[in-house]
Amino acid sequence: MPFTFNPLWKILIDKNMTRENLRVALRFSPSTMAKMSKGQNVSLDVIEKLCKYLNCQPGDLMEYIPD
């Protein structure tokens, strides 16, 4: 898994939000949140919603980890 969403989780901590708060606010399915937790692929629609909601860029949400 070359990507991690650890930067997103740090943003949530800074905003005093839980993953569940985010999931409910953006109407993400539990499986979408699980994919992000595992560093699996999510759609660009998911990334776009996150960026709009958190007022950030995709690079603020995820990090590339080379093999």
- For every residue of 13-67, which 3-state class applies, written as one string? HHCCCCHHHHHHHHCCCHHHHHHHHCCCCCCHHHHHHHHHHHCCCHHHHCEECCC
pTM of the model: 0.91
User: Could you give the CA distance from residue 3 to residue 13 in angstroms, rounded to a whole number?
Assistant: 19
| Domain spans of the chain, in order of start | 3-64
Topology at the third CATH level for domain 3-64: 434 Repressor (Amino-terminal Domain) (1.10.260)
For the stretch 11-59, pLDDT in tens is 999 999 999 999 999 999 999 999 999 989 999 999 999 999 999 999 9
